[in-house]
Amino acid sequence: MWEKWFQFLLVEHRGKTIGVLLGLLASILFVTFGFWRTVFIAICIGIGYLIGKQLDENKNFDSWLKQMFKDR
């Protein structure tokens, strides 16, 4: 029964479900760790996502690092 309900939520109301879950997670983090620690966690998650996305797209990680930290 719960599986069908979760499947319905993810298929019919995907954006709303993800938004509610992210809001719940953010509120728990704010209450538990405070604002700045939560912002730091969000930044680390974002950086991890970008690195993972580059690796998933089969791009060369070494060339990506060189591009990010090239001399200006």
Provide mean pLDDT across the span 22-35: 92
CB count within 10 Å of CB 9 equals: 15
Instruction: Look at residue 14 in the predicted model and tell me its pLDDT.
Output: 83
**Tally of domains within the chain:** 2
Q: Are residues 5 and 17 in the same domain?
A: yes
Q: Which pLDDT band, with edges at 50, 70 and 90, does 61 fall under?
A: low
Q: In this model, does residue 11 exceed pLDDT 60? A: yes
With a threshold of 0.75, does the pTM exceed it? no
Q: Are residues 25 and 42 in the same domain?
A: no
Which distant-in-sequence residues (6+ apart) come within 8 Å of 29 by Cβ? 37, 38, 41
Q: Are residues 38 and 25 in the same domain?
A: no
Provide mean pLDDT across the span 49-55: 79
Please, what is the average pLDDT of the chain? Answer: 83
